[in-house]
Structure 1
Amino acid sequence: MSYPYIEYTAQVKQTLDRLPWPQFQQMISLLHLARLESKQIFVLGNGGSAATASHIACDLSKNTRAADKPYLSAPHLKVMSLNDNMSLFSAIANDEGYENVFAHQLENVLQEKDVVLAISASGNSPNVLNAVKLACARNAQTVGWSGYDGGALAHLVDIAIVVPNWCIEQIEDIHMMMGHMLTMTLRQKVREKSHEHPLVSTPA
């Protein structure tokens, strides 16, 4: 009898071992600096990646401070998911085309050295690519999460984190895990000020 979930779990474990950890660390440093410099962070994605973008924006906004240590000073991360304002999202899609739903939103608010975190399992979603192109033109900083071979996204962004896997469900699972790892690590950077034991360690 076949047990697909066992094979699925094994494949996820193997993929996690092969994640590009140096690029992950670069992303952590970038977002930590954005926090210290009060830069904005915009997260976006399509379909399942839209849900991931919303989840990550929530966690980065709420869970990156040491709530039990109010004496530790650290600014809040200024994070927004571009998937969450459905009135604006649908208006842009209807009037200007779905390929512009993210770029149009960024046109109104994106400033130099802000950060755009773009999520696309294929790395080839036109609306995601258009948003990144606008970000590059505005001298913003860009991070791309993708899977498969990275797609066009991996060649456009400053920091590309490509999940080395060809199963869409597993790619999306690992993207969500990456969001949680990112949140915990940024929170730990606050806790380090109190010399507490780390919540997570960075892979070698």
Structure 2
Amino acid sequence: MSNPIDEYLDHVYRAARTVPGEQVLAAARALAEAHSRGATVFLLCPPDDGESVGHLANELQWGVAAGSCRFHLERLFGTPGQAAGWRPDWAYEDVYVQQLRGRVSPGDVLLVISRRGRSLGMVRALEAARRSGATTVVMVGFDGGTIKDLADICLHVQSDRLEQVEDVQMMLAHMLSSALRDLIATPHQAETACTSAPGQR
């Protein structure tokens, strides 16, 4: 008789191995470069999964930058309640792009976390970020959806099991945190980031 726990762990392992390590390192380097310039990292996640972006934000702020300047982070929100408050000025699919308008600059990073990658709101935000010269980093599962092709760096978890996609995306947050601790290590980098205020880039 098969052990369901072992089977689950096997699925998670196989899903994790579908994400190339060099892509994870590329994402970490993009974030480290943004940190060194004092650029802004925008975090976007579906409203029904705010815990993932919250966890990643905590990793970047508290797990990475101890002893150095913190990341300049901005979370893009799009809960149904917030969207209702913004109507009739914004259509729901414009909730994210409107929050980027006039704020995203060349050298910034937009990091999107999605399970299936089919949100029109995310598509529009990624398109706007690319037009503004920002680097786009995407974490996505299943077949990558529409947003996969809008990513400069794509961390694609090739699994059609929602739980495994979520598990691996949490692992990716920890991998990024671990890599960034090594990349953001020199006093010069920390001093540069702390004296490069957004808007003065």
- Provide Cα deviations, 1:82-125, integer angstroms capped at 9, x if missing partner: 13899755523664232122111111421122100011111111
Map 1:183-194 onto structure 2 (within 5 A). 183-191=177-185
1:170 aligns with 2:135: no
Q: 1:12 to 1:98 in 2, by over 3 A?
A: same
1:105 aligns with 2:99: yes
1:41 aligns with 2:35: no
- Provide Cα deviations, 1:47-75, integer angstroms capped at 9, x if missing partner: 454321121112212221234xxxxxx43
Is contact 2:41-2:108 (8 Å) kept? yes
Q: Which residue of 2 aligns with 1:15?
A: 15
- Mapped to 1, the partners of 2:186 and 2:131 lie a distance apart of 36
Q: 1:78 aligns with which of 52, 72, 81?
A: 72
Residue identity in the other structure for 2:93: E
Q: Which residue of 2 aligns with 1:5?
A: 5
Equivalent position SS for 2:64: coil
Q: 1:145 to 1:4 in 2, by over 3 A?
A: same
Q: TM-score, normalised by structure 2?
A: 0.82
Runs (5+) with no aligned partner, structure 1? 68-73, 194-204
Q: 2:135 aligns with which of 130, 141, 144?
A: 141
Is contact 2:46-2:78 (8 Å) kept? no
Runs (5+) with no aligned partner, structure 2? 188-201
> Which of structures 1 and 2 has the larger relative contact order (alpha carbons within 8 angstroms, sep 6+)?
2
Q: TM-score, normalised by structure 1?
A: 0.81
Q: Which residue of 2 aligns with 1:32?
A: 32
- Mapped to 1, the partners of 2:124 and 2:51 lie a distance apart of 20
Equivalent position SS for 1:165: coil
Q: Which residue of 1 aligns with 2:149?
A: 155
Q: Which residue of 1 aligns with 2:117?
A: 123
Is contact 2:115-2:165 (8 Å) kept? yes
